[in-house]
Structure 1
Amino acid sequence: MEWQILIVLFGSFFFLLALGVPISFAIGLSSLLSVLMSLPFDAAIAVISQKMASGLDSFTLLAIPFFILAGNIMNQGGIAIRLIELAKVLGGRLPGSLAHVNIIANMMFGAISGSAVASAAAVGGTMSPLQKKEGYDPAYSAAVNITSCPTGLLIPPSNTFIVYSLISGGTSIGALFLAGYLPGIIMGLSLMLVAGVIAKKRGYPLAPKPSRAEVLKKLFDALPSLGLIIIIMGGIIGGIFTATEASAIAVIYTLILAVLIYREVSLKQLPAIILESVVTTSIVLLLIGASMSMSWAMANADIPYLISDALLAISENPIIVLLIINLTLLIVGIFMDMTPALLIFTPIFLPIAQDLGMDPVHFGVMMTFNLCIGICTPPVGSALFIGCSVGKVKIDKVIKPLLPFYAVLVSALMLITFVPQISLALPRLFLGY
């Protein structure tokens, strides 16, 4: 019976996706169909509705609309250009300097905005014309932008970690935020290594050496933007406020920064920004609610245990099992966006990882890193589409330049997976985790 429910649940889900049904509705309808196999119609409807509502009844989730609003304010608040100018003085003397500027700027802007897509659009839209002017291959430039924009999903504040905290049963958000720093930096540095090697082979130019006064000016201009990260993480680590309270503080800070200091956002623009944030929040929360109903349907049918037993039947070696989990998530990431993949597969794979002795914080970082690769891959990678759009490059032209970047990202993923100290060092240092 359990296997039949599993087939109905995932078979109907992927069938609905293939028909073009929005993913939130596909999750909810497939969950309902699976529950109907064990409950009458009225009871199934009541259970699914109740689980969707109770899944959203969480104080932690209040952080998501606030961080989305703060990110949207900063996206239009002149932040990107200031961070790009700072990145120029930080990475301008490396081979293929503009590629390194793109990566560093994506790391900083993505961390502040919390959105890979916004980072790809804002940073890539600014850097692509500059790189084309300097003789860079547009496909190479697009590949650099596409693969580096997800770094901000690992470097906090990250809505992805907030969602994972909820679905994993209350894993510490502060610990997850701290755990994302080193893997996010490793992701950026690994991309810079590949970009530098390719740029040196092709003879791409170096940027002029900046003067000390110029370095100080660019740093001073960007400090207010970077201050958001310092305030949020300093407050969380110091126990001054929770991650949810930090999200509200982020909104106040970004309003002051964009409206009063940078003066890039007027009061007349705020209603449109708020409305955009409300729409985005609604989409995310509907997805979370539907996924909570699917999580209950899977737990009710013992599906996580079925999959766990099937995996352990293949091998009880932790290395083999983690490789299978990573391979599965890499394949899932090709066909599914990051948030739904996280919501659906965390309840399945987290218990298996914990049985192997893996810390839930470490697993959350590994899973997020893995799915970051997925949003850079065809056919549904959101970062891929935006990166190609702003770089004015066709998707088929950018696939080959992306391959060496994919290879180094997978190598970095293996490092994160099998060296837990990379993820857990900072939480243990600052929080005693």
Structure 2
Amino acid sequence: MSFAFLLCIGVVLVVAGIGVPIAYAVIVGSLSYLFVSGESVGLAGKLMMDGLYGSFILLAVPLFIVAANIMNAGTISDRLLQFCIVLVGRFRGGMGHVNVVASLIFSGMSGSAVADAAGIGKIIIEMMTRTGHYTRGYAAAITAASATIGPIIPPSIPMVLYALVSSTSIGYLFLGGIIPGLFMGAVLMAMNYIIARKRNFGLEDAPPLRELPRNTLQAFPALLMPAILLYGIYGGVTTPTEAAAVAAFYALLLAVFIYRSLRLRVFMEILIDSARSSAAVGLIIGSALILNYVVAAENIPNLLAEYLNNLDVSPLMFLLGVNLLLLLLGCLLDATTIILVIIPLFLPACRELGIDLVHFGVVAIVNTMIGLITPPYGVLLFVLTAVTGIPLNEIIREIWLFLGALIVALLAMILFPDIVLWLPKYFGYAG
């Protein structure tokens, strides 16, 4: 490990530590490596541009962002939310269940945890606190926890990024996320029910069941989006990137022609906001591409794989160790950085140990999503504080039980790989 590489890591840590966004910190650190090692600094620009423009798969990211923003802008979210209320709102802890079910449904549309939390999440928090049965902190905590499901059930922007660095099939990754996402939802609903019983939360005045067919009919066009996406990919009609374009176009058709809830001015704001979000993701990806070159130049992945092989680590112990490390890193780093910079370091070792890359990818992405609600750097906690005004300490006070429930779900996925792999294998994945 050279002095230039140690300098690179040191610069990244120092620059990020003083509050500079992680993408800029990684770029500055990587440039310091190129400068000290005597390589052309212009190489950084070439690596970034080649990586961004040479990967067709990355087009899926802005398209999924546009689809999510269109879904959140019109009355689509309101119709889906009313459907959830009629479905599960009558049970003990009903609005908490509505919160989780809404996240499960929206996870099949947005592919983004932040989009779920800032969009439908804000609406549900207001509804939960209005009933008087839930504290502000509890409403925000279960919203943050359920929003982590967003990138697990397809479509999923983090899975697109993982496919980019691992050369794994996006289609099988998407399939691998369906059962884990539903499992996470079930675990969160069970925890919500236990807390509701213990704290004696009041029952909601849910609409009668006879309204379920009408609400289902109103929400049905929106509920079709995940099915259209999955059929397009697994039916051989579209590539995952083309499926993202179909999702964005379908969301636009729903908002304009079916629900008639999207004005031109709002649509322009959606495009501008989506462009900003896409640019932010692109900057992080570009910085990661440069750092990945630095890591490859230092032969770090192969050295790490060789070290682990010499330790004679079993695949299970390796998975447990890596996931513990990722949980700790999730307290400090954002999910995109972990997926693009940290996870590629372990891929050669996974191949050497015979660990399935679809299983590893889904588990690692679940882990990074848990990191979004892990103090002190829980991005979803900050997002909800910003959009609702609820103090951060109130949310953190209530998040721990949901955090524990999700870690238990993660452990189950590690110990029982078929939770992830059963559906991909059913559709022909050879492993």
**CA distance in structure 2 between the partners assigned to 1:11 and 1:315 by the alignment:** 30
Instruction: Note the C-alpha offset of 1:378.
Output: 2.3
Q: Residue 305 of structure 2 contacts residue 352 of structure 2 at CA under 8 Å; is this kept in 1? A: no
Residues 96 and 212 of structure 1, relative CA distance in 2, 3 Å threshold? closer
Instruction: Note the C-alpha offset of 1:312.
Output: 5.1
1:378 aligned onto 2:365: no
Q: Residue 153 of structure 1 contacts residue 160 of structure 1 at CA under 8 Å; is this kept in 2? A: yes
TM-score under structure 2 length normalisation = 0.94
Map 1:181-330 onto structure 2 (within 5 A): 181-208=178-205, 210-311=207-308, 316-330=313-327
> For residue 8 of structure 1, what is the amino acid of its counterpart?
L
Please name the residue that 1:18 is paired with: 17
Q: Residue 124 of structure 1 contacts residue 391 of structure 1 at CA under 8 Å; is this kept in 2? A: no
Q: What's the secondary structure of 2:150's corresponding residue?
A: helix
Please name the residue that 2:43 is paired with: 47
Map 1:100-111 onto structure 2 (within 5 A): 100-111=97-108
**CA distance in structure 1 between the partners assigned to 2:350 and 2:7 by the alignment:** 25
Q: What's the secondary structure of 2:118's corresponding residue?
A: helix
**CA distance in structure 1 between the partners assigned to 2:302 and 2:10 by the alignment:** 19
C-alpha offsets along residues 158-177 of structure 1, whole Å, 9 cap, x if unaligned?
A: 11111111111x21111111
Instruction: Note the C-alpha offset of 1:384.
Output: 0.8
TM-score under structure 1 length normalisation = 0.94
1:151 aligned onto 2:149: yes
Instruction: Note the C-alpha offset of 1:197.
Output: 0.1
Instruction: Note the C-alpha offset of 1:431.
Output: 3.8
C-alpha offsets along residues 382-417 of structure 1, whole Å, 9 cap, x if unaligned?
A: 211123345543222222321111111111111112
Q: What's the secondary structure of 2:149's corresponding residue?
A: helix
> For residue 301 of structure 1, what is the amino acid of its counterpart?
E
> For residue 164 of structure 2, what is the amino acid of its counterpart?
L
Instruction: Note the C-alpha offset of 1:87.
Output: 1.3
Instruction: Note the C-alpha offset of 1:153.
Output: 0.7
Instruction: Note the C-alpha offset of 1:196.
Output: 0.6
> For residue 36 of structure 1, what is the amino acid of its counterpart?
F
C-alpha offsets along residues 278-337 of structure 1, whole Å, 9 cap, x if unaligned?
A: 111111112112211111110110112333345556661333222221111111111111
Q: Residue 117 of structure 1 contacts residue 386 of structure 1 at CA under 8 Å; is this kept in 2? A: yes
Please name the residue that 1:123 is paired with: 120
- Which structure 2 segments of 5+ residues have no match? none
Give aligned pairs, total: 428
Instruction: Note the C-alpha offset of 1:110.
Output: 3.0
Instruction: Note the C-alpha offset of 1:79.
Output: 2.3
Residues 328 and 253 of structure 1, relative CA distance in 2, 3 Å threshold? same
Instruction: Note the C-alpha offset of 1:201.
Output: 1.1
Instruction: Note the C-alpha offset of 1:353.
Output: 2.1
Q: Residue 141 of structure 1 contacts residue 391 of structure 1 at CA under 8 Å; is this kept in 2? A: no
**CA distance in structure 1 between the partners assigned to 2:311 and 2:403 by the alignment:** 27
Instruction: Note the C-alpha offset of 1:370.
Output: 0.2
C-alpha offsets along residues 172-200 of structure 1, whole Å, 9 cap, x if unaligned?
A: 11111111101111111111111110001
Q: Residue 74 of structure 2 contacts residue 262 of structure 2 at CA under 8 Å; is this kept in 1? A: yes
Map 1:16-165 onto structure 2 (within 5 A): 16-38=15-37, 40=38, 43-56=39-52, 57-132=54-129, 133-165=131-163
Q: What's the secondary structure of 1:44's corresponding residue?
A: coil
**CA distance in structure 2 between the partners assigned to 1:227 and 1:368 by the alignment:** 25
C-alpha offsets along residues 65-89 of structure 1, whole Å, 9 cap, x if unaligned?
A: 2111111111102222222111112
- Give percent identity, aligned residues only: 37
> For residue 3 of structure 2, what is the amino acid of its counterpart?
Q
